[in-house]
Amino acid sequence: MLLAASISEGALERSIATKVLVREVMNSPVISGSEDETADHLAKKMVKYSIGSVIIIDGEDVKGIVTDGDLVNKVVAKNLLPSGVKAKDVMSSPLQTIESEKDVTDAARLMRKLGVKRLGVTYKGKVVGIVSMSDIIGVTPEIIDIVSEKARILSGGSGQRASSVSGYCDNCNQWSDNLLEIDGRFICEECRIDQSRRDDEETA
């Protein structure tokens, strides 16, 4: 998210007291499978529970994770028989994790750093859920609202505002990197131009 140049990134981050925690967006409980479970069984679990991954365990030990991407890339794309492929042959290991009390922005940064789309969520050392990039994207509008509100406070309230922000236009609901606040609403450049044209036509 790009905010006005007049607001430093550090000041903005310090100003955001309201956080969205990983535990608030994670998928729980964890759906698990064994190392010897076949790919077709794992796929059926994903369909049954409407999930995109299965945690592979051996007793109390977490061995890895099999994602829908693993099944596509390592089984289907290679034209392998799913009933003949075991979880241990296609799982990603070790499972990358993040603590449940971390902020979702921390999770997003870690996913980007590790090049993964999912993280196991831990609480007191145990895996209690899964958080995916799609889970984080799902709460992005709320995070943008928080950032926008804090930006207005930092810029001096209603008497002074940031020059532009990135987010969804309150008029057309499309993403824009050039929103301006007009009468308490964030409007994109295209909608501002359309409104200006309508105003000109009305005064003509």
Share of the chain above pLDDT 70, in %: 78
Q: HEC states along the chain?
A: CCCCCCCCHHHHHHHCCCCCEHHHHCECCCCEECCCCEHHHHHHHHHHHCCCEEEEEECCEEEEEEEHHHHHHHHHCCCCCHHHCEHHHHCECCCCEEECCCEHHHHHHHHHHHCCCEEEEEECCEEEEEEEHHHHHHCHHHHHHHHHHHHHHHCCHHHCCCCCEEEECCCCCCEEEEEEEECCEEECHHHHHHHHHHHHHHHC
Place 176 in a pLDDT band, splitting at 50, 70 and 90: confident
Domains and CATH numbers, the chain: 21-138 (3.10.580.10), 139-203 (no CATH)
pLDDT of residue 202: 74
Please state which of the ranges 57-71, 109-123, 179-193 shows the lowest mean pLDDT: 179-193
Mean pLDDT along residues 35-50 = 95
- What does the pLDDT look like over 53-98, one tens digit per residue? 999 999 889 999 999 999 999 999 999 999 999 999 999 999 999 9
